[in-house]
Amino acid sequence: MKTRNIIVNTVVSLVLGLFLLYIVFNNIDLNLFLERLDNLDYSWIYLSMFISIFEHVVRGYRWNLLMQTKQTNLSTYITTHILIVSYFFALFIPRFNDFVRCYLISKTNDIKVSSSLGTVVSERIFDLISLLIISLLFFIIEFDLFTNFFSTYILTNISFDVYYLIIFFFVIAVIISFLYYLNKKSDTFSSKFSEFKKGVLSVNKYYKNKNFLLSTLILWIIYFLMGYVIFFSLEETSSLAISSGIAVLVAGSLGMVVPVNAGIGAYHFLVASILISYNINYETGLFFATILHTSQIICLALLGIVSSLILFFKIRSNG
């Protein structure tokens, strides 16, 4: 990725994120917002931050399953630090973390970047499928709430135009044709593409593997608990049911998909909005979303600094 593209991507994402934050917090009295910090039960927030550590460990273990071959002996300890550092980088340069972790895994293990990048794509696809399954579960449990939320906050902001759809498929066709041409004409590209494809298809070996499926299940339970335990830190949300925790999980995951630094703005808006359906006013929902999001960012920043130092000395010793 060229330096100019990285800078443009970072600036655009940051501006968009700040704009979303302005929209979300525009009518909020920040002084009253900050005063509510005195009424929090911080033990639940610390518990949420502690639980989040296991997210990285499970992700590291699961990624190792995708990359594991007879020639590799991957350490979950090292891979966990690599993931932490990559997400730490994403706080500053959004969508750059996948390249960072593939680069770092190549420096700590005998795995090519193109091959590991393929496993990342497989992982993303599997996570998307998992999110769709969880969303379906939420849809079944809270049918009326889901349809009301979707129609109010999603459909009203989407305009359908058949010409845009035609252009979209045309662009996709051009990209596929160009990649096919390069694959036929360039030996270097063909070699890299084969490694990439091998990494993507590696998920086929594991979608029935009980360890891979179990680690994925545990990962989403951790995501759920990270948000659910925060409910108990705030009096207004302390009595919310498990179904509302699933709602926050779905809304928050959708918010993190938006291409801004750490989902700022989008995450806050979607979580606060979904909680309105559970009789939590928007300001309280926004306060909850801010506490959850900020606590995880702080935890990731602290872990990122430690993991960066560990990997620095690891790579230096290998060199």
User: For residue 117, what pLDDT is reported?
Assistant: 83
Q: With CA atoms as reference, report the closest residue to 199 among 121, 97, 127.
A: 121
Cβ pair 212, 58 in contact under 8 A: no
User: For residue 61, what pLDDT is reported?
Assistant: 93
Q: With CA atoms as reference, report the closest residue to 292 among 242, 223, 246.
A: 223
State percent of the chain over pLDDT 90. Answer: 34
What CA–CA distance (Å, rounded) separates 165 from 170? 9
What CA–CA distance (Å, rounded) separates 253 from 45? 19
User: For residue 158, what pLDDT is reported?
Assistant: 45
User: For residue 157, what pLDDT is reported?
Assistant: 46
Intervals of the chain under pLDDT 70: 1-6, 8-9, 69-72, 146, 148-165, 168-169, 171-172, 175, 178-208, 319
Q: What is the pTM of this model?
A: 0.79
User: For residue 154, what pLDDT is reported?
Assistant: 54
User: For residue 193, what pLDDT is reported?
Assistant: 57
Q: Which two tokens stand for residue 6?
A: 């990285």
Domain ranges of the chain: 3-318
What CA–CA distance (Å, rounded) separates 11 from 92? 10
